[in-house]
Amino acid sequence: MPHAPNLGEEDLDAVPPPQPVFHVEQALLGALLLEPHRLDDVNGITADSFSTAAHAALYTAISTLPRPEPAEHAKNTTWLDRVLATSREQARGLNAIYLHALVQVCPWPSHAPAYARMVEAEHARRRLLTAAEHLIHTVHDASLPLPAQTVLAEADALAAVVDDIATRFPPRSGVLPRTPAPSPDLAPDHTEAAEEEQLLLATATARPDDIDAVRWLLPDDLTLPLHAGLWQCLTTLARRGEPIDPVTVLWEAQQRGLLDNGREPGEVLRMLAEPAGSVGHWAERALQRSLLATAEHTGRRIEAYAGDPANTPFQLVVGARRALADIAAVRTRWQHATGAAPPQQRRTAPAIRAGPPTTTAAHAARSTRATR
């Protein structure tokens, strides 16, 4: 939960609210302080739903202390004093002046349920934003021994947040986020990816009988347009049962216009003439890279949606589910490629990590490790 900066006793109520929801939280708390029985009409929120530690502490005190008799509450401040004393255990900056200000800014105590719904909606947006950020950070964690599996678990955690929000804010048909989705970024490990894809193409050209075993790899999984086109040439020739060698692949590439941008035929022939390792290994590496890139783009799409306060929870659920569908499609192919079973548990408290999802190794060392 985001916390406000440390606030002094005399300037707590003078800090300008960073978000409109701050006003909503004040109105809700003021309603509950003025008429504690309104708590019966409030549901769907907890202390974590509030945007500041001070408001969270106040709500905890209000919702846990025994309620006063309405007649007594109207005549004295005994219950308010208890609320202040209890909440100050968690937020020392609170004072009686601020509680009085909350009561004063509440327009209509009877609107408490509406205020609570607004607080809940903003909390849903913050939860989704945090889960999307966790997914992006996990993609960039270079220390993970099993990056694909960990990223998929993080995607499941994000999906669980979306499902939870949907139970409170069922999506409406056709209501999409107003925020434009960000464009996909180029692979951060461009050099390593290009090198490994060249090894994939050369090895598949030398061992065409292995191409059928990696049908789960699609041209779009490769990072460079030329490599994607050459992979399509290889799979097409294999499907037709035609001879495959560097020359036949080059001819197919010409028929598909892959040489129209000034690409030298000799360069393509040299690329296809240096096989190493196995087709399965390089194909799996390419698919894992595609999965991570898809997860990052999905996370950034949802991050963009959740970062726009104008999007309603209904829009966020629809947009997030559409974005997550991209991961689901790659996940199916990844599980087919690796024989991995779907994860049985979802991570609920992922750590924030940083760093690109790449490693640096010599070409010869990678080729040796790739041999199976």
The pair of three-digit structure tokens given for residue 357, joined into one six-digit string: 């999802």
- pLDDT at position 370 is 44
Can you list the residues of the chain whose pLDDT is less than 70? 1-18, 173-174, 184-189, 340-372
Tell me which amino acid residue 292 is: L
Q: What is the pTM of this model?
A: 0.80
Tell me which amino acid residue 191 is: T
User: Please, is 240 exposed, middle or buried when counting C-beta atoms within 10 Å of its C-beta (0-12, 13-18, 19+)?
Assistant: exposed
Q: Which distant-in-sequence residues (6+ apart) come within 8 Å of 310 by Cβ?
A: 178, 179
C-alpha span between 10 and 97 (Å, rounded): 9
Q: Which distant-in-sequence residues (6+ apart) come within 8 Å of 30 by Cβ?
A: 102, 103, 104, 105, 106, 109
- pLDDT at position 346 is 46
Contact in structure between 193 and 221 (CB atoms under 8 Å): no
CA angle in degrees (0–180, nearest 5) for 347-352-355 = 120
- pLDDT at position 342 is 54
- pLDDT at position 182 is 79
- pLDDT at position 261 is 76
The pair of three-digit structure tokens given for residue 5, joined into one six-digit string: 């900066």
Tell me which amino acid residue 99 is: L
- pLDDT at position 221 is 96
Cite the DSSP H helix spans in the chain.
20-34, 53-64, 70-75, 78-87, 96-105, 112-139, 147-168, 190-206, 225-240, 246-255, 265-271, 279-306, 313-338, 363-370
Rounded to the nearest 10 degrees, the angle between the axes of helix 53-64 and helix 78-87 is: 130
Dump the DSSP string for 210-266: GGGGGTT--GGGSSSHHHHHHHHHHHHHHHHT---SHHHHHHHHHHTTTTTTS--HH
C-alpha span between 361 and 189 (Å, rounded): 12
